């Protein structure tokens, strides 16, 4: 059985990883297991929303912080988009994503770790400090596990939203 560990913190990253798994033919009679891990912390161990300048205490719905809500919604996307998977496990961690993935990879016989890279992190150049320029989560995952890591590009959600809005505006004006 092929075991994939998926790291995500947004619905867009999860959708990109699901597309990647579909393109790889993950559901074509192969036995596969996907462990999807979502996290809402940052590299310093702070919860998203707890840092200076963030909307501290901003709660949504049933008392979740926005980062936690986004992470849990990302797991819901995996449940919907991966019906072809034999076994799907989802886990939410209230910590930074990279250490959470390293922990889960150590706990399970993981064949491959898959994470998304947003447009903003892919535009960052390697700056001589030992980072890859692919983003702090990718760097942390590469440092924290000996498993193969696949980095899937995640389309810029902001650009997509603006593009859809512009398309709607153009069709309304015709």
pLDDT band at 41 (very low <50, low <70, confident <90, very high): low
Q: Give yes or no for residue 55 having a pLDDT over 70.
A: no
**Token pair belonging to 42:** 């940052």
Residue ranges and CATH numbers for the domains of the chain are: 2-173 (3.40.50.620)
Q: Is the pLDDT higher at 131 or at 80?
A: 80
User: Residue 2: pLDDT above 80?
Assistant: yes
Decide which of 174 and 67 is more confident.
Answer: 67
Q: Report the predicted TM-score, pTM, of the whole model to 2 decimal places.
A: 0.72
Distance separating alpha carbons of residues 22 and 16, to the nearest angstrom: 10
pLDDT of residue 53: 34
User: Is residue 68 pLDDT above 90, yes or no?
Assistant: no
Per-residue model confidence as pLDDT tens digits over 136-158: 788 888 888 889 999 999 887 55
Determine contact, residues 147/110, Cβ cutoff 8 Å.
Answer: yes
The pLDDT score that the predictor gives to residue 58 is 39
The continuous run of DSSP H or E covering 117 comes out as strand 112-118
Structure tokens at 91: 């886990």
C-alpha–C-alpha distance, residues 131 and 142, integer Å: 10
Q: What is the 3-state secondary structure (H, E, C) of the chain?
A: CEEEEEEECCHHHHHHHHHHHHHCCCCCCCCEEEEEEEECECCCCCECCCCCCCCCCCCECCCECHHHHHHHHHHHHHHHHCCCCCEEEEEEECCCHHHHHHHHHHHCCCCEEEEEEEHHHHCCCCCCCCCCCCCHHHHHHHHHCCCCEEEEEECCHHHHHHHHHHHHHHHHHC
CA atoms of 47 and 51, how far apart (whole Å) = 8
Q: What is the four-CA torsion angle of 120, 121, 125, 129, rounded to 10 degrees?
A: 140
DSSP 164: H
């Amino acid at each position: 059985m092929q075991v994939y560990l998926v790291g995500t913190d947004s619905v867009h990253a999860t959708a990109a990883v699901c597309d990647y798994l579909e393109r790889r033919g993950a559901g074509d009679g192969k036995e596969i297991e996907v462990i999807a891990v979502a996290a809402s912390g940052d590299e310093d161990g702070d919860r998203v929303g707890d840092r200076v300048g963030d909307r501290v205490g901003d709660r949504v719905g049933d008392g979740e912080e926005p980062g936690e809500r986004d992470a849990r919604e990302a797991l819901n996307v995996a449940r919907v988009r991966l019906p072809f998977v034999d076994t799907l496990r989802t886990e939410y961690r209230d910590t930074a994503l990279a250490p959470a993935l390293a922990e889960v990879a150590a706990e399970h016989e993981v064949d491959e770790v898959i994470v998304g890279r947003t447009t903003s992190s892919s535009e960052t150049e390697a700056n001589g400090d030992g980072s890859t320029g692919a983003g702090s989560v990718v760097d942390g995952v590469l440092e924290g596990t000996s498993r193969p890591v696949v980095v899937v590009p995640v389309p810029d959600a902001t650009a997509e939203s603006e593009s859809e809005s512009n398309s709607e505006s153009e069709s309304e004006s015709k």
